[in-house]
Structure 1
Amino acid sequence: MDLVNLGSTGLRVSPLGLGTVKFGRNQGVKYPSGFVLPDEDTLAELLALTRSLGINLLDTAPAYGASEERLGRLLAGQRDDWVIIGKVGEEFEDGISSHVFTPDHFRRSLERSLERLRTDRIDVLLIHSDGSDMAILQDDALMRTMADFKAEGTARAIGVSTKTVEGGIRALELMDVAMATYTADYRAEEPVLDYAAAHRKGVILKKVLSSGHAADVPAAIRFAFSHPGVASAVIGTINPVHLEQIAACVDEATRRR
């Protein structure tokens, strides 16, 4: 799998990123069926397979339960092999998700993530939006805090995991990366991808397989990569066979570009 530029961040990422919700959380998720969290030996094998497939992008967040802590242990000695997407703004505790958008919380959250992941930087740090994209992006103190993280080097690139067209475009105007949703059944955020393609900004897609509900996986992946503004797509799985199948679909879709 050939690496691609993530906008103008200077980061080279695989077109497929592995989402790690299922590494640390099985409560309050939207997948079609329940699952048991894998043990860490199983996850180590999955990560080894991930790298062998040419995938270097991992997506995690404080809201993904024990994902960060487990990755910190699992990636010992191989941190430089990976590009890690992290987040601030959303918490998950005692089965309940909540959002906190303050500069102090962002800094505490990032420091905690660095400690859990046993690293000195997050490669792509995103604000985990609750849907109030524009209110977040109009908060100058939050924007300064994110810029500070980048200036300090604790975040190499910054952005927002958005839920609206206006938010996605504004995030790309102010920062480096937007994480957006774009499927054959949901094209509302396509202008975000258009903006990214026109301005050399980074877009990473989420929910490409509609949280596991996509009926035709190859078609869903082909559609995701049909837009030139898409750099990468994050898809979460803990099934090695499923991962190999997805990787093959992504490889085929990107080679057709």
Structure 2
Amino acid sequence: MIEQRPFGSTGLTVSRIGLGAGQVGERDVTEPQAERLLRGALDLGVTLVDTALSYGASEERIGRHLHDRRGDFVLSSKGGSGVEGHEDWSAGAVRASVEQTLRRTRSERVDVFFLHSCSLEVLERGEAQDALDAEVEAGRVVVAGYSGDNEALAYAASSSRFGALECSVNVADRWNLHHVVGQDPALGVIAKRPVANAPWRFDERPTGHYAELYWERLQQLRLDPGPLGWTALALRFTAHAPGVHSSIVGTAHLDHLRENVEAASAGPLPPEVVAHLDEAWDRVGADWPSST
């Protein structure tokens, strides 16, 4: 079974690999496929399922297929904008986001609810945090979190307003890891994009594809995955990075999730491999901001 870890000082426990349930909500994923993935993930020992209001039918499918196993996993979701009838990041939008998540996932509580990549300016106003605090006080949310990158993430981490963070961490994206993650051990940290959108799939620049930036960075880093292969190298780097408690893998296929769990369960990368990655980063990537 995959390793379970305390999630900072939140009182929650999460698996080292979590399920990023964005693809679960996509239209080309059938209902039986979604059920197989969601229930199979828990059977593998995955105890973190991460979703968002904006992930299509993801929340509804989590509620439909996992409501009878709600006590077996930590549910994290994200919102605060895009709610009909409410101004983005207003108290009403945050409250309505939480209410929708509870209804769709058939839950009495959301274990972790993240403000979903709001700007530094929004965080400085504080209205969204106040509204999220009210949801915690009411018992509808267990832990208030912030999902984002770079300066906004750093502000959130130092503000004492959140118990959890979600941010990009991978071999081609280290700003958050070097400037924020692990500085406050009380904060639970979920790493997203642990395989950097798998840019090694492309022989040529995937112009316009979401993996384009990471493809470009890998060309400059000139990394050698060696016998491990790219996926295992990337997953083991992120899953065992200092300060990271869980790394969410986005997939619609249970076999892929199983392979990722097995890769991360092999343990930290050998020291010489880490040294190779560090040297490459220090050489060309030290000033790169995180991909947002």
Counterpart of 1:76 in 2: which secondary structure?
helix
Gap change, CA 1:108 and 1:42, over 3 Å in 2: same
In the TM superposition, residue 13 of structure 1 has moved relative to its aligned partner by 0.5
| Structure 1 position 239 matched with structure 2 position 253 | yes
Gaps spanning 5+ residues in structure 1: where? 27-35, 94-98
| Structure 1 position 113 matched with structure 2 position 101 | yes
Scaled by the length of structure 1, the TM-score of the pair is 0.85
Q: Which runs of 4+ in 1 moved over 4 A?
A: 254-257
Q: Name the structure 1 match of 2:34.
A: 43
| Structure 2 counterparts to residues 1-257 of structure 1, below 5 A | 1-25=2-26, 36-37=28-29, 39-91=30-82, 100-130=88-118, 132=119, 134-164=120-150, 166-173=151-158, 174-190=161-177, 191-196=179-184, 199-214=185-200, 216-253=230-267
In the TM superposition, residue 228 of structure 1 has moved relative to its aligned partner by 1.8
CA RMSD in angstroms, aligned pairs only: 2.3
* Larger Rg computed on CA atoms: 2
**Could you tell me whether the CA contact under 8 Å between 1:159 and 1:172 is conserved in 2?**
no
- Aligned pair count reads 238
Counterpart of 1:123 in 2: which secondary structure?
strand
In the TM superposition, residue 192 of structure 1 has moved relative to its aligned partner by 1.2
**Could you tell me whether the CA contact under 8 Å between 2:39 and 2:66 is conserved in 1?**
no
Scaled by the length of structure 2, the TM-score of the pair is 0.76
In the TM superposition, residue 254 of structure 1 has moved relative to its aligned partner by 5.6
In the TM superposition, residue 214 of structure 1 has moved relative to its aligned partner by 5.0
Name the aligned partner's letter for residue 263 of structure 2.
Answer: C
Identity of aligned residues (%): 30
Cα distance between partner residues in 2 of 1:44 and 1:158: 28
In the TM superposition, residue 200 of structure 1 has moved relative to its aligned partner by 2.4
Gap change, CA 1:256 and 1:113, over 3 Å in 2: farther
Between Structure 1 and Structure 2, the one with more strand by share is 1
**Could you tell me whether the CA contact under 8 Å between 1:65 and 1:92 is conserved in 2?**
no
Gaps spanning 5+ residues in structure 2: where? 202-229, 272-292
**Could you tell me whether the CA contact under 8 Å between 1:88 and 1:128 is conserved in 2?**
yes
